[in-house]
Protein backbone atom coordinates (compact mmCIF):
# COMPACT_ATOMS: atom_id res chain seq x y z
CA UNK A 1 0.00 0.00 0.00
CA UNK A 2 1.50 3.30 -1.09
CA UNK A 3 0.94 6.14 1.34
CA UNK A 4 -0.25 9.40 -0.24
CA UNK A 5 -2.81 12.13 0.19
CA UNK A 6 -5.22 9.92 -1.80
CA UNK A 7 -4.73 6.82 0.39
CA UNK A 8 -5.24 9.04 3.43
CA UNK A 9 -8.44 10.57 2.04
CA UNK A 10 -9.76 7.15 1.01
CA UNK A 11 -9.07 5.69 4.46
CA UNK A 12 -10.61 8.74 6.14
CA UNK A 13 -13.83 8.34 4.15
CA UNK A 14 -14.05 4.65 5.11
CA UNK A 15 -13.57 5.31 8.82
CA UNK A 16 -9.85 4.40 8.77
CA UNK A 17 -10.72 0.72 8.53
CA UNK A 18 -8.75 0.11 5.35
CA UNK A 19 -5.21 0.36 6.67
CA UNK A 20 -3.16 -2.80 6.27
CA UNK A 21 -0.19 -3.77 8.44
CA UNK A 22 3.03 -2.03 7.47
CA UNK A 23 5.22 -5.14 7.44
CA UNK A 24 4.65 -8.91 7.58
CA UNK A 25 5.32 -11.14 10.58
CA UNK A 26 7.01 -14.11 8.86
CA UNK A 27 8.31 -17.31 10.46
CA UNK A 28 12.05 -17.66 9.98
CA UNK A 29 13.13 -19.62 6.88
CA UNK A 30 15.92 -22.19 7.19
CA UNK A 31 18.40 -20.16 5.10
CA UNK A 32 19.07 -16.56 4.14
CA UNK A 33 21.81 -15.02 1.99
CA UNK A 34 22.35 -12.40 4.70
CA UNK A 35 21.21 -12.32 8.32
CA UNK A 36 21.32 -9.02 10.16
CA UNK A 37 21.34 -9.36 13.96
CA UNK A 38 19.55 -6.39 15.48
CA UNK A 39 16.26 -4.79 14.41
CA UNK A 40 17.12 -1.22 15.28
CA UNK A 41 17.44 1.65 12.83
CA UNK A 42 20.86 0.53 11.62
CA UNK A 43 19.93 -3.12 11.09
CA UNK A 44 16.70 -2.28 9.26
CA UNK A 45 18.41 0.39 7.15
CA UNK A 46 21.09 -2.16 6.23
CA UNK A 47 18.42 -4.62 5.10
CA UNK A 48 16.66 -1.91 3.12
CA UNK A 49 19.84 -0.86 1.29
CA UNK A 50 20.85 -4.51 0.67
CA UNK A 51 17.52 -5.08 -1.07
CA UNK A 52 17.18 -1.69 -2.73
CA UNK A 53 20.73 -0.80 -3.80
CA UNK A 54 22.55 -4.12 -3.96
CA UNK A 55 19.82 -6.52 -5.14
CA UNK A 56 20.15 -8.92 -2.19
CA UNK A 57 16.60 -9.67 -1.11
CA UNK A 58 16.87 -13.01 0.67
CA UNK A 59 17.63 -11.19 3.91
CA UNK A 60 16.41 -11.57 7.50
CA UNK A 61 16.60 -9.05 10.32
CA UNK A 62 16.56 -10.83 13.69
CA UNK A 63 15.42 -8.83 16.71
CA UNK A 64 15.34 -10.23 20.25
CA UNK A 65 12.48 -7.93 21.34
CA UNK A 66 10.41 -5.72 19.08
CA UNK A 67 11.99 -3.55 16.40
CA UNK A 68 13.21 -0.17 17.61
CA UNK A 69 13.10 -1.23 21.27
CA UNK A 70 16.76 -0.45 21.92
CA UNK A 71 18.63 2.77 21.24
CA UNK A 72 16.52 3.55 18.16
CA UNK A 73 13.71 4.34 20.60
CA UNK A 74 15.88 5.90 23.30
CA UNK A 75 17.83 8.66 21.55
CA UNK A 76 17.11 12.39 21.41
CA UNK A 77 16.38 12.34 17.64
CA UNK A 78 19.06 14.80 16.56
CA UNK A 79 20.49 14.78 13.05
CA UNK A 80 23.60 16.77 12.12
CA UNK A 81 26.86 16.52 10.19
CA UNK A 82 29.03 19.04 12.07
CA UNK A 83 32.15 16.89 12.37
CA UNK A 84 35.72 18.01 11.84
CA UNK A 85 37.92 14.98 11.22
CA UNK A 86 38.59 13.18 7.93
CA UNK A 87 36.47 10.04 7.89
CA UNK A 88 33.69 11.63 9.89
CA UNK A 89 32.97 14.71 7.73
CA UNK A 90 32.20 12.80 4.52
CA UNK A 91 30.35 9.98 6.25
CA UNK A 92 28.00 12.14 8.30
CA UNK A 93 27.35 14.51 5.39
CA UNK A 94 26.39 11.52 3.26
CA UNK A 95 24.02 10.59 6.09
CA UNK A 96 22.56 14.12 6.13
CA UNK A 97 21.94 13.95 2.36
CA UNK A 98 20.17 10.60 2.85
CA UNK A 99 18.00 12.17 5.61
CA UNK A 100 17.02 14.92 3.19
CA UNK A 101 15.51 12.41 0.72
CA UNK A 102 14.54 9.67 3.16
CA UNK A 103 10.80 10.31 3.20
CA UNK A 104 10.57 10.19 -0.61
CA UNK A 105 12.82 7.09 -0.76
CA UNK A 106 10.81 5.22 1.87
CA UNK A 107 7.35 6.66 1.16
CA UNK A 108 7.07 7.27 4.88
CA UNK A 109 6.74 10.40 6.98
CA UNK A 110 9.81 10.36 9.23
CA UNK A 111 9.15 13.99 10.27
CA UNK A 112 12.64 15.05 9.20
CA UNK A 113 12.83 18.65 10.33
CA UNK A 114 15.90 20.72 9.44
CA UNK A 115 15.39 23.28 12.16
CA UNK A 116 19.10 23.90 12.76
CA UNK A 117 21.60 22.99 15.45
CA UNK A 118 23.78 25.47 17.29
CA UNK A 119 26.84 24.71 19.43
CA UNK A 120 27.39 27.57 21.87
CA UNK A 121 30.86 28.92 22.69
CA UNK A 122 31.94 30.85 25.76
CA UNK A 123 35.60 31.76 25.34
CA UNK A 124 38.08 32.93 22.70
CA UNK A 125 39.69 29.51 22.60
CA UNK A 126 36.36 27.76 22.09
CA UNK A 127 35.42 30.27 19.36
CA UNK A 128 38.69 29.54 17.55
CA UNK A 129 38.06 25.79 17.77
CA UNK A 130 34.54 26.24 16.41
CA UNK A 131 35.74 28.58 13.64
CA UNK A 132 38.20 25.89 12.63
CA UNK A 133 35.55 23.18 12.70
CA UNK A 134 33.15 25.38 10.70
CA UNK A 135 35.83 26.05 8.09
CA UNK A 136 36.60 22.33 7.88
CA UNK A 137 32.92 21.64 7.34
CA UNK A 138 32.60 24.29 4.61
CA UNK A 139 35.71 23.03 2.79
CA UNK A 140 33.99 19.64 2.77
CA UNK A 141 30.78 21.07 1.33
CA UNK A 142 28.85 21.05 4.62
CA UNK A 143 26.93 24.17 5.70
CA UNK A 144 28.22 26.02 8.76
CA UNK A 145 27.85 29.56 10.07
CA UNK A 146 29.77 31.13 12.92
CA UNK A 147 27.34 33.43 14.76
CA UNK A 148 28.15 36.05 17.39
CA UNK A 149 26.13 36.65 20.55
CA UNK A 150 23.95 39.39 18.98
CA UNK A 151 22.96 37.12 16.10
CA UNK A 152 22.09 34.27 18.45
CA UNK A 153 20.16 36.59 20.75
CA UNK A 154 17.80 37.40 17.85
CA UNK A 155 16.94 33.70 17.39
CA UNK A 156 17.21 32.49 20.98
CA UNK A 157 16.36 35.45 23.23
CA UNK A 158 15.63 33.24 26.24
CA UNK A 159 19.19 32.04 26.88
CA UNK A 160 21.32 33.37 29.74
CA UNK A 161 23.92 35.45 27.90
CA UNK A 162 25.58 37.06 30.89
CA UNK A 163 26.46 34.10 33.09
CA UNK A 164 29.74 35.01 34.81
CA UNK A 165 31.12 31.50 34.34
CA UNK A 166 29.97 30.73 30.78
CA UNK A 167 28.88 33.98 29.05
CA UNK A 168 27.53 33.15 25.58
CA UNK A 169 29.92 34.71 23.05
CA UNK A 170 28.47 33.00 19.99
CA UNK A 171 27.94 29.63 18.40
CA UNK A 172 28.52 27.42 15.40
CA UNK A 173 25.26 26.91 13.51
CA UNK A 174 24.45 24.13 11.06
CA UNK A 175 21.05 25.08 9.64
CA UNK A 176 20.59 21.77 7.81
CA UNK A 177 20.83 19.92 11.12
CA UNK A 178 17.68 19.25 13.13
CA UNK A 179 15.56 16.37 14.31
CA UNK A 180 13.62 13.41 12.95
CA UNK A 181 10.95 11.18 14.47
CA UNK A 182 13.01 8.23 15.71
CA UNK A 183 10.25 5.59 15.75
CA UNK A 184 9.07 6.59 12.29
CA UNK A 185 12.61 6.05 10.99
CA UNK A 186 12.51 2.47 12.31
CA UNK A 187 9.01 1.84 10.96
CA UNK A 188 9.80 3.48 7.61
CA UNK A 189 12.86 1.31 7.02
CA UNK A 190 11.04 -1.80 8.27
CA UNK A 191 8.14 -1.24 5.88
CA UNK A 192 10.37 -0.39 2.91
CA UNK A 193 12.65 -3.39 3.57
CA UNK A 194 9.66 -5.71 3.99
CA UNK A 195 8.18 -4.49 0.70
CA UNK A 196 11.45 -5.50 -0.98
CA UNK A 197 11.31 -9.05 0.39
CA UNK A 198 13.22 -8.75 3.66
CA UNK A 199 11.93 -10.92 6.54
CA UNK A 200 11.70 -9.00 9.81
CA UNK A 201 11.65 -11.56 12.61
CA UNK A 202 10.87 -10.19 16.06
CA UNK A 203 11.15 -11.98 19.40
CA UNK A 204 14.02 -13.98 17.96
CA UNK A 205 17.13 -13.77 20.11
CA UNK A 206 20.46 -14.93 18.73
CA UNK A 207 22.00 -17.32 21.27
CA UNK A 208 25.08 -18.45 19.37
CA UNK A 209 26.90 -18.70 16.05
CA UNK A 210 27.05 -21.77 13.83
CA UNK A 211 30.62 -22.33 12.56
CA UNK A 212 32.01 -24.79 10.02
CA UNK A 213 35.27 -26.75 10.42
CA UNK A 214 37.31 -23.74 9.19
CA UNK A 215 35.71 -21.49 11.80
CA UNK A 216 33.60 -19.64 9.21
CA UNK A 217 30.26 -18.40 10.51
CA UNK A 218 27.56 -20.22 8.52
CA UNK A 219 24.49 -19.28 10.54
CA UNK A 220 23.06 -18.46 13.93
CA UNK A 221 21.40 -20.33 16.78
CA UNK A 222 18.30 -18.46 17.90
CA UNK A 223 15.46 -18.78 20.37
CA UNK A 224 13.38 -19.79 17.32
CA UNK A 225 15.79 -22.41 16.02
CA UNK A 226 18.89 -22.63 13.86
CA UNK A 227 19.04 -20.45 10.75
CA UNK A 228 21.82 -20.77 8.19
CA UNK A 229 23.22 -17.79 6.33
CA UNK A 230 25.75 -16.90 3.68
CA UNK A 231 26.84 -13.90 5.75
CA UNK A 232 25.95 -12.59 9.18
CA UNK A 233 26.08 -8.89 10.08
CA UNK A 234 25.93 -7.57 13.64
CA UNK A 235 24.11 -4.27 14.23
CA UNK A 236 23.53 -4.56 17.98
CA UNK A 237 25.17 -1.41 19.37
CA UNK A 238 24.96 -1.43 23.15
CA UNK A 239 25.28 -5.21 23.29
CA UNK A 240 28.03 -5.68 20.70
CA UNK A 241 30.53 -7.14 23.18
CA UNK A 242 28.02 -9.72 24.38
CA UNK A 243 27.16 -10.91 20.88
CA UNK A 244 30.81 -10.80 19.76
CA UNK A 245 31.78 -12.89 22.80
CA UNK A 246 29.57 -15.70 21.41
CA UNK A 247 32.03 -15.79 18.50
CA UNK A 248 35.03 -15.55 20.83
CA UNK A 249 35.89 -11.94 19.94
CA UNK A 250 37.12 -9.23 22.32
CA UNK A 251 36.51 -5.72 20.99
CA UNK A 252 37.69 -2.14 21.67
CA UNK A 253 34.28 -1.27 23.12
CA UNK A 254 32.76 -0.55 26.54
CA UNK A 255 29.02 -0.32 27.22
CA UNK A 256 27.92 2.82 29.06
CA UNK A 257 24.58 4.29 30.03
CA UNK A 258 23.43 7.67 28.67
CA UNK A 259 20.33 9.31 30.11
CA UNK A 260 17.78 11.49 28.34
CA UNK A 261 14.86 13.54 29.60
CA UNK A 262 11.63 15.06 28.35
CA UNK A 263 9.51 17.75 29.97
CA UNK A 264 5.77 18.27 29.87
CA UNK A 265 4.56 19.65 26.53
CA UNK A 266 4.58 23.44 26.13
CA UNK A 267 3.85 25.80 23.24
CA UNK A 268 6.57 26.22 20.57
CA UNK A 269 9.61 27.78 22.23
CA UNK A 270 12.90 26.39 20.97
CA UNK A 271 13.32 26.68 17.22
CA UNK A 272 16.14 24.16 16.80
CA UNK A 273 18.70 22.18 18.73
CA UNK A 274 20.90 24.01 21.24
CA UNK A 275 24.04 22.44 22.67
CA UNK A 276 25.79 23.84 25.73
CA UNK A 277 28.86 21.63 25.64
CA UNK A 278 30.70 23.54 28.36
CA UNK A 279 27.87 22.72 30.76
CA UNK A 280 27.19 19.17 29.51
CA UNK A 281 23.67 20.00 28.33
CA UNK A 282 21.73 20.02 25.07
CA UNK A 283 18.07 20.58 24.30
CA UNK A 284 15.48 20.66 21.55
CA UNK A 285 11.69 20.68 21.42
CA UNK A 286 9.67 17.86 19.92
CA UNK A 287 6.73 18.52 17.59
CA UNK A 288 4.50 17.35 20.43
CA UNK A 289 5.85 20.20 22.56
CA UNK A 290 8.03 18.41 25.10
CA UNK A 291 11.50 19.73 25.73
CA UNK A 292 13.90 16.88 24.97
CA UNK A 293 17.26 17.22 26.69
CA UNK A 294 20.28 15.38 27.97
CA UNK A 295 23.91 15.59 28.93
CA UNK A 296 26.88 13.34 29.57
CA UNK A 297 27.29 9.63 30.11
CA UNK A 298 26.90 8.43 33.69
CA UNK A 299 30.50 7.32 33.34
CA UNK A 300 30.55 3.71 34.55
CA UNK A 301 30.12 0.50 32.55
CA UNK A 302 26.47 -0.46 32.41
CA UNK A 303 23.99 -2.65 30.56
CA UNK A 304 21.12 -1.53 32.80
CA UNK A 305 19.24 0.95 30.51
CA UNK A 306 18.83 3.25 33.51
CA UNK A 307 21.11 5.79 35.14
CA UNK A 308 21.69 7.45 38.47
CA UNK A 309 20.91 10.72 40.22
CA UNK A 310 24.25 12.62 39.98
CA UNK A 311 23.85 12.93 36.20
CA UNK A 312 20.19 13.96 36.56
CA UNK A 313 21.36 16.74 38.85
CA UNK A 314 24.23 17.69 36.54
CA UNK A 315 21.97 17.88 33.47
CA UNK A 316 19.35 19.96 35.27
CA UNK A 317 22.03 22.32 36.59
CA UNK A 318 23.34 22.72 33.06
CA UNK A 319 19.84 23.52 31.85
CA UNK A 320 19.27 26.08 34.59
CA UNK A 321 22.63 27.71 33.84
CA UNK A 322 22.09 28.28 30.13
CA UNK A 323 18.30 28.58 30.03
CA UNK A 324 16.95 29.62 33.45
CA UNK A 325 13.31 29.58 32.28
CA UNK A 326 13.53 25.77 32.09
CA UNK A 327 13.04 25.77 35.87
CA UNK A 328 9.37 26.56 35.25
CA UNK A 329 8.57 23.34 33.40
CA UNK A 330 8.24 19.94 35.02
CA UNK A 331 10.22 16.92 33.95
CA UNK A 332 7.91 14.27 32.56
CA UNK A 333 10.05 11.23 31.79
CA UNK A 334 13.64 10.14 32.00
CA UNK A 335 15.32 7.01 30.65
CA UNK A 336 18.68 5.45 29.83
CA UNK A 337 20.15 3.75 26.78
CA UNK A 338 23.25 1.61 26.45
CA UNK A 339 25.97 3.13 24.31
CA UNK A 340 28.62 1.14 22.46
CA UNK A 341 31.54 3.38 23.49
CA UNK A 342 34.53 2.75 21.24
CA UNK A 343 38.08 3.66 22.24
CA UNK A 344 38.23 6.76 20.01
CA UNK A 345 34.58 7.81 19.97
CA UNK A 346 34.11 6.69 16.36
CA UNK A 347 32.16 3.73 14.95
CA UNK A 348 33.54 0.48 13.59
CA UNK A 349 32.14 -0.89 10.32
CA UNK A 350 34.28 -3.73 9.07
CA UNK A 351 34.74 -7.40 8.41
CA UNK A 352 35.78 -9.28 11.53
CA UNK A 353 38.75 -11.68 11.68
CA UNK A 354 36.09 -14.43 11.50
CA UNK A 355 35.00 -15.40 8.00
CA UNK A 356 31.34 -14.70 7.32
CA UNK A 357 30.85 -12.34 10.27
CA UNK A 358 30.58 -8.58 9.78
CA UNK A 359 30.56 -5.82 12.36
CA UNK A 360 28.64 -2.54 12.64
CA UNK A 361 29.32 -1.19 16.15
CA UNK A 362 30.86 1.46 18.37
CA UNK A 363 28.32 4.21 17.68
CA UNK A 364 28.92 5.85 21.06
CA UNK A 365 26.09 8.36 21.66
CA UNK A 366 25.89 9.40 17.98
CA UNK A 367 24.20 6.50 16.25
CA UNK A 368 20.81 7.98 15.41
CA UNK A 369 22.02 10.66 13.00
CA UNK A 370 24.11 8.01 11.22
CA UNK A 371 21.20 5.60 10.66
CA UNK A 372 20.81 5.96 6.87
CA UNK A 373 24.53 6.14 6.06
CA UNK A 374 25.31 3.31 8.44
CA UNK A 375 22.77 1.14 6.64
CA UNK A 376 24.15 2.07 3.23
CA UNK A 377 27.83 1.45 4.02
CA UNK A 378 27.13 -1.76 5.96
CA UNK A 379 25.02 -3.06 3.09
CA UNK A 380 27.91 -2.17 0.74
CA UNK A 381 30.36 -4.08 2.94
CA UNK A 382 28.07 -7.13 3.15
CA UNK A 383 27.33 -7.11 -0.59
CA UNK A 384 30.77 -6.33 -1.97
CA UNK A 385 33.11 -7.55 0.77
CA UNK A 386 34.94 -4.24 0.68
CA UNK A 387 34.34 -1.05 2.65
CA UNK A 388 32.26 1.76 1.18
CA UNK A 389 34.59 4.68 0.30
CA UNK A 390 32.93 6.90 2.95
CA UNK A 391 33.50 4.26 5.66
CA UNK A 392 37.00 3.22 4.63
CA UNK A 393 38.50 4.67 7.81
CA UNK A 394 36.07 3.00 10.24
CA UNK A 395 38.18 -0.16 10.37
CA UNK A 396 38.48 -2.52 13.31
CA UNK A 397 42.28 -2.59 13.08
CA UNK A 398 42.71 1.20 13.28
CA UNK A 399 43.58 1.03 16.98
CA UNK A 400 46.36 -1.47 16.27
CA UNK A 401 47.64 0.75 13.44
CA UNK A 402 47.39 3.98 15.44
CA UNK A 403 44.87 5.44 12.95
CA UNK A 404 42.24 6.50 15.48
CA UNK A 405 39.56 9.07 14.62
CA UNK A 406 39.31 10.79 17.98
CA UNK A 407 37.02 13.80 17.47
CA UNK A 408 37.29 14.83 21.11
CA UNK A 409 41.01 14.03 21.49
CA UNK A 410 40.36 12.06 24.65
CA UNK A 411 42.28 8.81 24.11
CA UNK A 412 41.28 5.27 25.04
CA UNK A 413 39.07 6.24 28.00
CA UNK A 414 35.58 5.69 26.57
CA UNK A 415 33.61 7.24 29.44
CA UNK A 416 35.20 10.62 28.61
CA UNK A 417 34.28 10.70 24.90
CA UNK B 1 23.61 3.72 43.30
CA UNK B 2 25.39 4.10 46.64
CA UNK B 3 28.91 2.91 47.25
CA UNK B 4 30.04 1.54 50.62
CA UNK B 5 33.53 2.99 50.97
CA UNK B 6 35.56 0.84 53.43
CA UNK B 7 36.85 4.06 55.08
CA UNK B 8 33.88 6.48 54.88
CA UNK B 9 30.83 4.23 54.88
CA UNK B 10 27.96 4.33 52.38
CA UNK B 11 28.09 7.43 50.15
CA UNK B 12 26.21 8.53 47.03
CA UNK B 13 28.05 7.73 43.81
CA UNK B 14 28.46 11.38 42.83
CA UNK B 15 31.39 11.49 45.28
CA UNK B 16 33.25 8.89 43.24
CA UNK B 17 35.09 8.93 39.92
CA UNK B 18 35.16 5.87 37.72
CA UNK B 19 38.24 4.48 36.03
CA UNK B 20 37.05 1.12 34.72
CA UNK B 21 37.84 -2.57 34.62
CA UNK B 22 40.46 -3.53 37.23
CA UNK B 23 41.42 -6.79 35.53
CA UNK B 24 43.84 -5.69 32.76
CA UNK B 25 47.46 -5.83 33.87
CA UNK B 26 49.96 -3.45 32.32
CA UNK B 27 52.51 -5.50 30.32
CA UNK B 28 55.96 -5.50 31.92
CA UNK B 29 58.84 -4.75 29.52
CA UNK B 30 61.41 -6.30 31.86
CA UNK B 31 59.49 -9.57 31.99
CA UNK B 32 58.40 -9.47 28.34
CA UNK B 33 61.81 -8.45 26.95
CA UNK B 34 62.58 -12.04 25.98
CA UNK B 35 59.58 -12.01 23.67
CA UNK B 36 59.41 -10.59 20.17
CA UNK B 37 58.71 -6.85 19.77
CA UNK B 38 55.41 -7.83 18.13
CA UNK B 39 54.55 -9.83 21.25
CA UNK B 40 55.05 -6.78 23.48
CA UNK B 41 53.10 -4.65 21.00
CA UNK B 42 50.23 -7.13 20.99
CA UNK B 43 50.21 -7.19 24.78
CA UNK B 44 50.03 -3.38 24.92
CA UNK B 45 47.36 -3.23 22.22
CA UNK B 46 45.28 -5.65 24.25
CA UNK B 47 45.92 -3.72 27.49
CA UNK B 48 45.14 -0.26 26.10
CA UNK B 49 42.30 -0.93 23.67
CA UNK B 50 40.52 -4.24 24.19
CA UNK B 51 37.89 -4.78 26.87
CA UNK B 52 36.00 -7.78 28.19
CA UNK B 53 33.07 -5.39 28.72
CA UNK B 54 31.51 -7.78 31.20
CA UNK B 55 27.73 -8.09 31.50
CA UNK B 56 27.43 -9.17 35.14
CA UNK B 57 29.81 -8.79 38.07
CA UNK B 58 32.96 -6.87 37.21
CA UNK B 59 35.96 -5.79 39.33
CA UNK B 60 36.50 -2.09 38.73
CA UNK B 61 38.41 0.91 40.00
CA UNK B 62 36.60 3.81 41.67
CA UNK B 63 38.27 6.88 43.21
CA UNK B 64 36.62 8.45 46.27
CA UNK B 65 37.53 12.05 45.40
CA UNK B 66 34.64 13.46 47.43
CA UNK B 67 35.72 11.63 50.59
CA UNK B 68 38.86 9.81 51.69
CA UNK B 69 40.55 10.16 48.26
CA UNK B 70 41.35 6.46 48.17
CA UNK B 71 41.40 4.23 45.13
CA UNK B 72 38.90 1.43 45.62
CA UNK B 73 38.11 -1.84 43.91
CA UNK B 74 34.41 -2.60 43.68
CA UNK B 75 32.68 -5.72 42.47
CA UNK B 76 29.57 -4.42 40.78
CA UNK B 77 26.97 -6.01 38.54
CA UNK B 78 26.87 -4.00 35.30
CA UNK B 79 23.38 -5.31 34.51
CA UNK B 80 21.71 -4.44 37.83
CA UNK B 81 24.16 -1.89 39.39
CA UNK B 82 24.31 -4.02 42.58
CA UNK B 83 27.58 -3.98 44.54
CA UNK B 84 28.94 -7.22 46.00
CA UNK B 85 32.05 -5.78 47.68
CA UNK B 86 34.11 -2.59 47.93
CA UNK B 87 37.72 -2.79 49.12
CA UNK B 88 40.74 -0.49 49.08
CA UNK B 89 42.90 -1.08 46.02
CA UNK B 90 46.16 -2.83 46.93
CA UNK B 91 49.33 -0.84 46.38
CA UNK B 92 47.68 2.52 47.07
CA UNK B 93 47.79 2.86 50.82
CA UNK B 94 47.17 -0.82 51.47
CA UNK B 95 49.41 -3.84 50.88
CA UNK B 96 46.36 -6.05 50.37
CA UNK B 97 42.69 -5.22 49.76
CA UNK B 98 41.04 -3.86 52.90
CA UNK B 99 37.49 -4.99 53.71
CA UNK B 100 35.06 -2.65 55.41
CA UNK B 101 35.44 -2.77 59.20
CA UNK B 102 39.01 -4.11 59.20
pLDDT tens digits along A294-339: 999 999 999 999 999 999 999 999 999 999 999 999 999 999 999 9
**Among B53, B66, B74, the residue to mutate for chain A (most A Cβ within 10 A):** B53
Residues from chain B contacting residue A336 (CB–CB below 8 Å): none
Smallest CA–CA distance from A238 into chain B, residue:
B53
| Mean pLDDT value of segment A100-126 | 97
Q: Residue B34 has what pLDDT?
A: 62
| pTM of the full structure | 0.95
Q: List the single residue in A250, A255, A304 with the smallest CB-CB distance to B81.
A: A304
Gap between the Cα atoms of B85 and B70, Å rounded? 15
Contact at CB, B12 and A310, closer than 8 angstroms: yes
pLDDT at A226: 98
Question: Higher confidence at residue B98 or residue A171?
Answer: A171
pLDDT category at B35 given cuts 50, 70, 90 is: low
**Chain-wide mean pLDDT for chain B?**
87
Q: How far is B44 from chain A (nearest CA, A)?
A: 10
> How far is the alpha carbon of A369 from chain B, nearest alpha carbon, in Å?
25
User: CA A372, CA A379: separation in Å to the nearest integer?
Assistant: 11
Say whether pLDDT at B100 is over 90.
Answer: no
Q: Which helix or strand (DSSP H or E) is residue A301 part of?
A: strand A290-301
Q: Is A277 on the interface with B (CB under 8 A)?
A: no
Separation in Å, CA of B40 to nearest CA in chain A: 12
CATH class of the B1-86 domain in this structure: alpha beta
Q: Which residues of A touch B51 (CB under 8 A)?
A: 241, 250-254
Query: Per-residue pLDDT for A87 more than 90?
Result: yes
Interchain contact, A300 vs B50, CB within 8 Å: no
Q: What is the rounded average pLDDT for all residues in chain A?
A: 97
Q: How many CB atoms lie within 10 A of CB A227?
A: 23
Confidence of residue B32 (pLDDT cuts 50, 70, 90): low
Q: Which of A239, A299, A400 sits opposite B45 (nearest CB)?
A: A400
Give the confidence band of B95 by pLDDT, cuts at 50, 70, 90.
low
* Class of residue A214 by CB neighbours under 10 A (exposed 0-12, middle 13-18, buried 19+): exposed
Place B90 in a pLDDT band, splitting at 50, 70 and 90.
confident
Rounded to whole angstroms, the Cα distance separating B97 from B89 reads 6
Q: Answer for the pair B75, B93: CB distance below 8 angstroms, yes or no.
A: no
pLDDT value for B99: 62
In this predicted complex, what is the ipTM?
0.91
Are the beta carbons of A301 and B53 separated by less than 8 Å? yes
Residue B27 confidence (pLDDT): 86
CA triplet A117, A169, A287: central angle to 5 degrees? 25
Chain A within 8 Å of B82 (Cβ-Cβ)?
no
CB within 8 Å: B18 and A415: yes
| Rounded CA separation A62/A228 (Å) | 13
For A29-58, write each residue's pLDDT tens digit.
999 999 999 999 999 999 999 999 999 999
pLDDT of the residue at A108 = 97
Work out the number of other CB atoms within 10 angstroms of the CB of residue A265. 14
Delimit the domains of chain B by residue range: 1-86
Amino acid sequence: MKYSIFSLAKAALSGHKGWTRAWRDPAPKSHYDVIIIGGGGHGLATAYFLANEYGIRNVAVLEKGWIGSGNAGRNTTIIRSNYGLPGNTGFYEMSMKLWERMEQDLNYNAMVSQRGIINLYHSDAQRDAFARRGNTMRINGIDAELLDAAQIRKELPFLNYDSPRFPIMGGLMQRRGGTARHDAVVWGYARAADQRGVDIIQNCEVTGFVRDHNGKVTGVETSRGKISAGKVGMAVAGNTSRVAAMAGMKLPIESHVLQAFVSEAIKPLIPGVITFGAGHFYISQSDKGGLVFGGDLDGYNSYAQRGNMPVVEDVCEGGMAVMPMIGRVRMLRQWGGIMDMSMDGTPIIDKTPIDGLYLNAGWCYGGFKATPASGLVFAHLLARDEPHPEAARFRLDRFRRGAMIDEKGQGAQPNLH
Amino acid sequence: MRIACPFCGERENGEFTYLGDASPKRPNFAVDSGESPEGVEDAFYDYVYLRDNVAGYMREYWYHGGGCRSWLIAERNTVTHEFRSVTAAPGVGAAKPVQAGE
